[in-house]
Structure 1
């Protein structure tokens, strides 16, 4: 694992506790290591393999049968015997595969942990099994990190223990708002966020206007390019475009506008269509594999 599976940022070791560095590649090391964990260069040492090293969390068995040492998740080489290490993140038969480096990914990863490439979209919703390509929208649950279709996620409020304590002291509720799939919402026992009743002026949208003027929304020309529809600058990386799309599409989910008038629901449906069309167009422009 060389990149964060949640945001894709590259991960690096930081030298700690005055530890030495590798003469060959400059990577931070440890006085007890026999080889560089980053490039495999020998330190001409013969230290006994250990489970821990100050500044390093050695949590995984070395892949070499001859070595009894342990390695950490960022180490491409064992620091005891220099055998090449390969992170094996998933043993699921239907686990997604990175389109950049063909590494096998965990279904809960948004980015490849080996090269940082954005993880491919699963074919089916993890909760109901519906094809995601046919769904109006999809999102990643903030608890299990699995991709689900729009029918299987919603916004919920979670009152954590620390928030309960703050609430008891301040008298005001301390909650987190989370986008969760339905199984996680049931597991956590959270409460769905209820939309407030719209003011009377908004509920009268169903009534015909007293004059012949068009509604303001109808007179305003919608953005023309897919970049404008999604509110991003032309040339924005596809990963950022996707995040903008998911943030916008959830605002127009049927559950969010169910309490509004029929005209506002129609406008939400039209905006959903435009967002889906813009996202589909930019995905196709980016080429295969996205």
Structure 2
């Protein structure tokens, strides 16, 4: 795994526990490995395979003939026999990286081989509905699958420290968790006394004041949040809104509607940039 599947940042693997590095590519290694797991370079060693290696979680049997070694997830080469490995993503789904053409897991936002942004799946990861036909879509914060608006909801998830956090979960991951409590409605205003109402009826109507020019909505109003909204919730609101105007969602619409979607995306991006800076400076 050379890149993070969630953010796309390059993963800088470091040698641990005074382990050596590969002389060909400088990747971290292990004194008992016979070959580099990153580039396949042979170390001309004949160490017997071991089920564990300090600093590495070796969980999968090598499928090469006459090799009894084990591998860690996404090691491109077996560290015992040096044979190249082609891992199939656990999630499947038929996605393929547009840059290096490697198979991708549906839960990956970025390719773990080259860091290229993963293409959006064509259908919902839960109900199978075509995502181009849905008004909204979002990525589940638990399984990371992209699902349609009918298959995700905000749920309250308890944390280890006893706190309760709101998370955007799909219909599968949200089972067993409650929806957030609705906001309390303000108490109804007291009815005015009949005498006051009568007096108001008899009073002459004041001349209407000239209408004030329409006020531009603030960045928080554009995102449907308040200045007190936590960063994580603000980011979630932004991602949910901007997903509705993704070019893939409006490709089948007319030029005017596509231009409108582009303008709405611009407003959301500008609003999020301002909110992000304000939130970062106060945190």
Gaps of 5+ in 1: 165-173, 202-209, 224-228, 231-241, 252-272, 281-290
- Seen in structure 2, the aligned counterparts of structure 1 residues 127 and 274 have a Cα distance that, compared at 3 Å, is farther
- Normalising by structure 2, we get a TM-score of 0.66
For residues 246 and 82 of structure 1, the distance between their equivalents in structure 2, rounded to whole angstroms, comes to 43
Q: Does 1:49 align with 2:55?
A: no
Could you say what the CA RMSD is over the residues aligned between the two structures, in angstroms? 3.5
SS across alignment from 1:246: helix
1:213 is matched with which residue?
211
Match of 1:246 in 2: 239
Q: Is the 8 A contact 1:154 1:192 kept in 2?
A: no
Report the 3-state secondary structure (helix = DSSP H, G, I; strand = E; otherwise coil) of the residue aligned with 1:188.
Answer: coil
Write 1 or 2 for the structure with the bigger share of helix: 1
Could you tell me whether the CA contact under 8 Å between 1:21 and 1:30 is conserved in 2?
yes
> How far is 1:125 from its partner?
2.1
Query: 1:248, CA displacement in angstroms?
Result: 4.2
Using the size of structure 1 for normalisation, the TM-score is 0.64
Would the aligned equivalents of 2:62 and 2:78 in 1 still touch at CA under 8 Å?
yes
Structure 2 residue runs of 5 or longer lacking an equivalent are 190-207, 224-234, 245-258, 267-283
1:10 is matched with 10
**Aligned counterparts of 2:260 and 2:166: Cα–Cα separation in 1:** 27
Pick closer, same or farther for the CA change 1:79–1:127 going to 2, 3 Å: closer
Quote the Cα distance in structure 2 between the aligned partners of 1:220 and 1:199: 30
Structure 1 residue 24, shift from structure 2 partner: 2.3
Task: Please show how residues 177-188 of structure 1 align to structure 2 within 5 Å.
Answer: 177-185=166-174, 187-188=175-176
Counterpart-to-counterpart distance in 2, 1:119 and 1:193:
35
- Name the larger-Rg structure: 2
Corresponding residue for residue 61 of structure 1: 61
> Does structure 1 retain, via aligned residues, the 8 Å contact 2:97–2:116?
yes
In 2, the alpha carbon distance for the partners of 1:249 and 1:195 equals 25
Shift in Å, 1:114: 1.9
Tell me the distance in 2 between the aligned counterparts of 1:193 and 1:274: 34
1:190 and 2:178 are equivalent in the alignment: yes
Q: Counterparts of 1:1-290 in structure 2 under 5 Å?
A: 1-90=1-90, 92=92, 94-160=93-159, 162-164=160-162, 174-185=163-174, 187-197=175-185, 211-214=209-212, 218-220=214-216, 245-249=238-242, 278-279=264-265
Match of 1:184, SS state, is coil
CA distance in 1, matches of 2:86, 2:76: 7
Q: Give the length in aligned residue pairs.
A: 222
